[in-house]
């Protein structure tokens, strides 16, 4: 009979490792039998049976009704992705986009709401909170375990907005702390380009690539760096703010000629049809765009540049001249890809960051209180500690020895 011995002697630590191993085996997969879980988690069947009982009691795992079969069907279990939810929020100057997802990252609902022009700090916060509450009210069974707010600006490691040109009323606002009082769950705040990078690495053009530059262009242009599979935020969260370097011209006429304009899609469509004037506009845009990008490429030598935001509708019409210009400017030019995630890129990255928090705290089994329904307001905000924002979960290894 196969068995295993884990390195280490603390029973509480061994129990935690076993619980985590089984949960990791079940996450994001179809229902599995005990034997399948045992193989995937590298644990004995007896240990898996005990762990499954614990996880079922805590509400993270449930047994699935067997299908039709001859003889006694094997028990199958699945991770309860509906045991919790996360909310990703993308805040712009004129609108807010919200995505509600379960613990497997499946999108449950989407809502976009307009924001009044020129609101005060409190008015903008209230409008976003009301939009989120309205979305959650339509899903009364949802249990919110974390939320993340994306903002166009520099956000430090504690979730404080250090500087936002599009949202000046939010300068020096501790956004994460403010949002943590909305729905009695942990809240985080992050720069929008950084969140776009999380989304692209998770489900977009940068899947499987651990060194890339993320460009986010809509009404403004921002950039993010992912190095060694992790988001590089810098000492104060200002990494990637190369658009502030005036000599590059990212705020000049060549980019302003296209960025954020209502006819951007029509310009790219005309360029695709060979219109000379449209092709000239795209060429000038790509040349200026590539100059700032090349400065980052020459510094970190990435494998990939991802173009996202409203400008990503250009697809290959923009990617082709970008590749050409980067090839001339860089010693070792990377691949250039346009995002396919559309307008949801930043909000999707906010979902991923919130899920990262849930994943890091999913295994605190000392106490597992049933969370309050998401739409219930909290009696008082809870402080949000400074946290590291990993792009990927840290993966540990269970060292096992098999015995016969």
CA distance 338 to 306: 6
Whether pLDDT at 263 is above 90: no
CA distance 230 to 389: 8
Give the pair of three-digit tokens for residue 47: 């240990």
Model confidence pLDDT, tens digit, residues 167-177: 999 999 999 99
Rank 65-69, 146-150, 374-378 by mean pLDDT and report only the highest. 146-150
Give the pair of three-digit tokens for residue 25: 């085996």
- pLDDT for 363 equals 63
CATH 3.30.420.40 residue spans of the chain: 84-194+345-361, 206-340
Whether pLDDT at 267 is above 50: yes
Whether pLDDT at 385 is above 50: no
CA distance 186 to 357: 9
Whether pLDDT at 227 is above 90: yes
- CATH number attached to the domain at 84-194+345-361: 3.30.420.40
Mean pLDDT estimate for the chain = 85
Whether pLDDT at 337 is above 90: yes
Of 15-29, 276-290, 369-383, the range with the lowest mean pLDDT is 369-383
- CATH number attached to the domain at 3-79: 1.10.10.10
How are strands ordered across the β-sheet holding 160-163?
A: 154-155, 160-163, 173-174
User: At 325, is the secondary structure helix, strand, or coil?
Assistant: helix
pLDDT band at 220 (very low <50, low <70, confident <90, very high): confident
Of 244-248, 271-275, 304-308, 390-394, the range with the lowest mean pLDDT is 390-394
Radius of gyration of the chain (CA): 24
Whether pLDDT at 239 is above 70: yes
- pLDDT for 262 equals 55
Interval 136-141 mean pLDDT: 95
**206-340, which class in CATH?**
alpha beta
| Pairwise pLDDT comparison (74 vs 95), residue with the higher score | 95
| Pairwise pLDDT comparison (46 vs 251), residue with the higher score | 46
């Amino acid at each position: 009979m196969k068995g295993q011995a884990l390195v280490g002697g603390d029973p509480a630590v061994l129990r935690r490792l076993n619980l985590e191993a089984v949960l990791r085996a079940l996450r994001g997969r179809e229902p599995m039998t005990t034997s399948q879980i045992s193989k995937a988690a590298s644990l004995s069947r007896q240990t898996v049976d005990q762990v499954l009982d614990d996880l079922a009691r805590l509400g993270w795992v449930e047994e699935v009704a067997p299908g039709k079969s001859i003889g006694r069907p094997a028990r199958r279990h699945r991770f309860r992705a509906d045991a919790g939810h996360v909310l990703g929020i993308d805040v712009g100057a004129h609108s807010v986009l919200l995505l509600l997802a379960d613990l497997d990252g499946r999108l449950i609902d989407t809502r976009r709401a307009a924001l009044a022009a020129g609101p005060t700090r409190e008015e903008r916060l209230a409008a976003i909170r009301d939009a989120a509450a309205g979305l959650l009210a339509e899903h009364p069974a949802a249990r919110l375990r974390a939320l993340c707010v994306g903002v166009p600006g520099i956000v430090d490691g504690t979730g404080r907005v250090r500087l936002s040109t599009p949202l000046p009323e939010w300068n020096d606002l501790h956004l994460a702390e403010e949002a943590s009082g909305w729905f009695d769950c942990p809240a985080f705040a992050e720069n929008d380009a950084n969140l776009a990078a999380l989304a692209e690495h998770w489900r977009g053009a940068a899947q499987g690539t651990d060194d890339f530059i993320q460009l986010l262009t809509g009404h403004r242009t921002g950039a993010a760096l992912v190095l060694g599979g992790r988001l590089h935020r810098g000492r104060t969260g200002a990494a990637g703010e190369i658009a502030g370097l005036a000599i590059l011209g990212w705020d000049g006429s060549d980019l302003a000629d296209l960025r954020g304009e209502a006819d951007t899609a029509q310009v790219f469509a005309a360029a695709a049809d060979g219109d000379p004037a449209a092709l000239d506009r795209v060429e000038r845009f790509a040349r200026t765009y590539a100059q700032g990008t090349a400065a980052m490429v020459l510094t970190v030598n990435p494998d990939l540049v991802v173009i996202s935001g409203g400008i990503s509708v250009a697809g290959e019409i923009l990617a082709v001249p970008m590749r050409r210009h980067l090839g001339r400017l860089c010693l070792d030019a990377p691949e250039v890809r346009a995002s396919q995630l559309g307008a949801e890129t930043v909000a999707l990255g906010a979902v991923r960051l919130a899920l990262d928090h849930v994943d890091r705290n999913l295994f605190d089994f000392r106490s597992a209180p049933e969370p309050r329904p998401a739409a219930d307001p909290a009696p008082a905000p809870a402080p949000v500690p400074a946290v590291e924002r990993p792009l990927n979960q840290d993966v540990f290894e269970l060292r096992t020895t098999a015995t016969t």
